[in-house]
Structure formats: C-alpha cells, structure tokens
C-alpha cells in the first residue's frame, strides 16, 4: 500500500490559552474506503513524536507507517472494512501548523511566539478535519500514549460523534513522574546554546539537546527487562573498557544512535510544545472527578494497558475504567502481558490485534 499525505488548511482555530491560530494546516493520510453510510471511519491519533503516516509505505521516502503492524488489510484496523484517518497533531512538525511554521503576521517562523497548546486543542483541529471529510460519526478513535489521551478527549468532548474509543497505554491525567521526565527532556533542549530561546530556524538547531531529550524518552519507553534482553552489559565493538568516555556499552551506542536519528526528523520547539500539552492534560479538568468528564454519552470503551509499562502504568488505565464503571458505561479492559514496556503498543501487537479486532467488529455490527 503506497500512501501519500494530503494537507488541508483551515481559516482559524481558537485555543484553550485564549489565542487564535490563523490559518491552520493539517497533514493527514487515509487508508481504506469510506462506506456509503459513512459509518466505518476510524481516527487514529499519534503519540508524542508520531505523524500522519500511520500505515502503508510512504510515497515520499518509502518508509512504513508508525503503526503499520496494526493498520492494513486483515490487520486489527482492517482497511478492507474500515476507513482509517490519521493526522499530524497541532504543534507538530510533520505537516501540521506548529512553532516551525511561518507566522503570516511576521513572515518568520513562530518559534516560541507560537501559542501554548493543549490536547483538547489538538482534538478540535482533528474535528475540523473530520467535518471537512464529511464524516459525522467516528466508529472509533484510537491511539497509544498521547494518542490515547486524544481518544479520551474525543469521547469526552464529542460523545455524540464517537461511537467507541480505544485508549491504549495511556492516562486521563499526567502524573508527577510523567511531567518530570518531560521536563528533563525540555531542559536538555533549552540548555543547548543552539536552542537560542527557540530562534534557530535560520541557523543550527539544538541537536545535542534534542538528542538527549530523545535518549531520556527512549529509556522510559523500554523496560528494565527489555533493556537487559536487548543490551545486557555487552560492550560495543571492544573487548575492554575504553576508560575515555567513548561508547563502551551497547546501550550507550543505541541511545546515541536513536538520539541522533531523531534530530533529523523532529523540531525541538515542537518537542517543547507537545510535551507541555501532555503535561497539561487532565481530563477531569483539575476537579479530580473523571466520572463527570465522561458525562452521559453512549461511547463504548476498550482500555488496554501493558504489564511492563512503567511510564503509563496499569493503575492509570484502571482509574479510567473505574470512573466509567461508576457510571455504568460500556467498558472492556485488559492488561496485556508484555516485556516491552511502554513501547509494547507499537511493537508487541499480537494480543492487542485480537482484542481490538473483536471489539471493533462487535461495535461495527451493533451500530450499523
């Protein structure tokens, strides 16, 4: 499946911070066909560093989508049955308006004059896209990590639109630990002199800072067990320690590689803005009561967590499930066994495929 992103421009988008962005671009991809009843559309929301290219092979660079294991012919999100949509999030750097976009008022990139954004802002932009595509109801909204937050926000904000939601490895509110890890990443970027208060678009980007932020991120996406299995204490291309701060261990080499690779495809300011949006996320809006946030809609939920995910631990998924159950809402929940930590929703998709496929099939059958 060769795929290509499209971009659509909207006149303006009011934001939670009070500012209005105008205009706003959003890049998106679609897979499969919208049926005549327009009842088979599913929105996929990506995580922190994802993009609109969720599945298939990119026409531009030949790379597979970030959730290609889950989306496609005969897969969990079966493109023979469903019409799949994925868009770059607001504030991103992969086709959506973000801090790297040109501010029409100044003719220069927004940089840190870009307004602060939230998960609900991202969802509002996606709603414009869905309206633009002529879709009134979404059979499902799904995503892992920050994508799961968007799925929860969708169901809370537009209960009449969202038939079902599949939040995976996620939370209804960012915890102190999650905020703390994001802050380390942001500090790494801002401590890099090349960051230059965010104004680096006509010079050198803060590559070192962004790479370190990515390294921290990667550690939190894995588990102790998966790191032991993958790297152990193995040395990289040497038999003895170097005693010189060059790469000794395999794990160092891996993190450096991942960090450097990331710099080529991601904008440091986008990283700052999007991690803040995650940290601001609290579906209960500070009230502490999730039940009120979920309201009275009829959205069906499938909540999934993973045993070794310590970044978004199962108790956070259970909080969501308990709140829904307290309102006697239709919710299925399972904690899938995996050693892959938070990354499990991307890389360990066997059991995830079975539950998502069955849940979608019964939802589709009941609502069409």
358 sits near other proteins (criterion: CB under 8 A): yes
332 sits near other proteins (criterion: CB under 8 A): yes
Q: To the nearest whole angstrom, how small is the minimum distance from the Cβ of residue 356 to other proteins?
A: 9
Binding mask 274-313 for other proteins (x = CB under 8 A): --------------------------x-xx----------
SS (H, E, C) 303-335: EEEECCCCCCCHHHHHHHHHHHHHCCCCEEEEE
Distance of CA 265 to the CA centre of its chain: 16
* Whole-angstrom distance, CA of residue 273 vs CA of residue 111: 10
3-state DSSP call for residue 5? coil
258 sits near other proteins (criterion: CB under 8 A): no
Phi, then psi, of 24 in degrees rounded to 5: -130, 125
3-state DSSP call for residue 84? strand
- Select 157 or 164, whichever has its Cβ closest to other proteins: 164
Structure tokens at 85: 């949509």
3-state DSSP call for residue 206? coil
Q: Is 202 a catalytic residue?
A: no
3-state DSSP call for residue 210? helix
- Select 97 or 142, whichever has its Cβ closest to other proteins: 142
Q: To the nearest whole angstrom, how small is the minimum distance from the Cβ of residue 319 to other proteins?
A: 11
Q: Is 192 a catalytic residue?
A: no
167 and 173 Cβ atoms separated by less than 8 Å: no
Active site residue: 101, 142, 145, 308, which one? 145
* Whole-angstrom distance, CA of residue 141 vs CA of residue 339: 26
> Which range in 1-9, 39-47, 100-108, 359-367 contacts other proteins by CB under 8 A?
359-367
Q: To the nearest whole angstrom, how small is the minimum distance from the Cβ of residue 345 to other proteins?
A: 15
Instruction: Give how many residues touch other proteins by CB under 8 A.
Output: 27
Q: Is 282 a catalytic residue?
A: no
* Whole-angstrom distance, CA of residue 286 vs CA of residue 283: 8
78 and 357 Cβ atoms separated by less than 8 Å: yes
Q: What count of residues does the chain have?
A: 368
- Select 137 or 357, whichever has its Cβ closest to other proteins: 357
> Which range in 93-101, 106-114, 250-258, 348-356 contacts other proteins by CB under 8 A?
348-356
Q: To the nearest whole angstrom, how small is the minimum distance from the Cβ of residue 276 to other proteins?
A: 33
333 sits near other proteins (criterion: CB under 8 A): yes
Which of the residues are catalytic?
A: 145, 309, 342
* Residues making contact with other proteins (CB under 8 A): 300, 302-303, 321-322, 325-328, 330-337, 351, 354-355, 357-359, 361-363, 365
């Amino acid at each position: 499946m060769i795929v290509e992103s499209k971009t659509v421009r909207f006149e303006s988008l009011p934001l939670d911070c009070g500012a209005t962005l105008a205009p706003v671009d959003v890049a998106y991809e679609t897979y499969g066909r919208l049926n005549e009843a327009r009842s088979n559309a599913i929105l996929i929301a990506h995580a922190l560093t994802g993009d609109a290219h969720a599945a298939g092979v990119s026409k531009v660079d030949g790379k597979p989508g970030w959730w290609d294991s889950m989306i496609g012919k005969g897969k969990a999100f079966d493109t023979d049955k469903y019409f799949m949509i994925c868009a770059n999030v607001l504030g991103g750097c992969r086709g959506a308006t973000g801090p790297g976009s040109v501010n029409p008022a100044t003719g220069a990139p927004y940089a840190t004059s870009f307004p602060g954004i939230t998960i609900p802002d991202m969802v509002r932009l996606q709603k414009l896209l869905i309206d633009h595509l002529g879709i009134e109801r979404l059979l499902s909204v799904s995503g892992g990590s920050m994508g799961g937050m968007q799925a929860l926000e969708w169901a809370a904000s537009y209960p009449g639109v969202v038939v079902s939601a599949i939040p995976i490895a996620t939370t209804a509110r960012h915890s102190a630990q999650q905020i703390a890890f994001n802050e380390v990443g942001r500090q790494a970027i801002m401590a890099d002199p090349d960051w230059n208060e965010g104004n680096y678009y006509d010079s050198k980007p803060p590559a070192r800072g962004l790479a370190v932020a990515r390294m921290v991120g990667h550690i939190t996406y894995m588990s102790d067990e998966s790191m032991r299995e993958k790297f152990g204490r193995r040395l990289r291309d040497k038999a003895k320690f170097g005693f010189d701060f060059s790469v000794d261990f395999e794990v160092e080499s891996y993190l450096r590689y991942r960090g450097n690779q990331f710099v080529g495809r991601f904008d440091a300011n986008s990283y700052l803005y999007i991690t803040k949006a995650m940290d601001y996320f609290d579906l209960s809006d500070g009230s502490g009561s999730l039940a009120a946030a979920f309201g009275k809609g009829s959205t069906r939920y499938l909540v999934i967590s993973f045993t070794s995910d310590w970044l978004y631990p199962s108790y956070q998924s259970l909080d969501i499930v308990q709140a829904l159950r307290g309102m006697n809402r239709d919710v299925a929940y399972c904690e899938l066994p995996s050693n892959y930590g938070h990354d499990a929703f991307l890389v360990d998709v066997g059991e995830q495929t079975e539950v998502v496929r069955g849940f979608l099939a019964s939802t589709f059958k009941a609502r069409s």
